[in-house]
Amino acid sequence: MLLYRCSRTPFSNQPNWPRWRSSLVPAVFISAMVVFTLLVNSQAQGAQRLTPEQRETCRAQAAQGDNRQERRQLFRECRRGLLSNTSMPQSPTLSEPAPSSAMPANNAATDPKFMDADEAIGIMKSFLSSLESESESTELQGSAVEDLNGDGQLEIVFVWTLLGPTYWRNNLTVLAKTANGYQQAAEFSLEGYANLSSVMNGLIYVDQTLYAENDGRCCPSIKKQMKYRWIGKTIEIVE
């Protein structure tokens, strides 16, 4: 009889049921929130990773520090500056075809002076390779092919970065056609970060991030589009 009565007792009326039920629901909810938070954080961290080229740039910046703490701080500032600039318009690279605003919309059948993207990329690769060494490398930051001075000959315009062990600098270069092929006609050292935006009506437009008065060495903060004009053996800023 006792066994029968126990078996007929509802499970929800047993002493341990309310305590077990009340502790299970919060535990499941908390576990789900922890898993969700970890997934969100991992996705955010993945989106904020530096590319190998950006990492090398920051390492070169950090090497200028006098001690370990300063080098860490320079690397953090460089990383923060690069990630904050990812929203700037990106220019064509060596592995990408240039947009229509940068490359002339012609073809070999209608324009004898036509130069396709592969030919221009090959010329720039050859030029940049000649500047590299065991301690220095180069990185293209945008290119264009355009007749800058109206003489009927196409010039190759590009922005590129020289990366050294403890330094880096950006340059704007114009290659002009000569009897010996395309040769450097002019070069201009650019301040801060720089990407070629476009070339129109003989003007070269470059998106730059310039240094404010209190900016660290790694992290310029003033975004500005600069205009340049190629004149003979020089490149001048157009106000």
What would the pLDDT profile of 110-121 be if each residue is shown by its tens digit? 454 678 888 999
Looking at the 3D structure of the chain, how many domains does it have? 1
Q: Is 44 exposed, middle or buried (0-12, 13-18, 19+ CB in 10 A)?
A: exposed
* Of the ranges 57-66, 113-122, 189-198, 211-220, the best mean pLDDT one: 189-198
| Cβ(128)–Cβ(87) below 8 Å | no
pLDDT of residue 117: 83
Answer whether residue 57 is part of any domain: no
Mean pLDDT of the chain: 76
Mean pLDDT of 4-25: 53
Answer whether residue 165 is part of any domain: yes
230 vs 35: CA distance, rounded Å = 57
Answer whether residue 191 is part of any domain: yes
Structural domain for 116, as ranges: 91-238
Nearest CA-CA partner of 155 in 177, 140, 184: 177
Contacts for 223 with CB less than 8 Å, ≥ 6 apart: 85, 88, 207, 208, 209, 210
Answer whether residue 69 is part of any domain: no
Answer whether residue 182 is part of any domain: yes
Structure tokens at 206: 């470059």
pLDDT of residue 219: 83
Least confident piece of the model among 25-39, 104-118, 133-147: 104-118
190 vs 205: CA distance, rounded Å = 12
Answer whether residue 78 is part of any domain: no
Instruction: Please give the model's pTM, rounded to 2 decimal places.
Output: 0.58
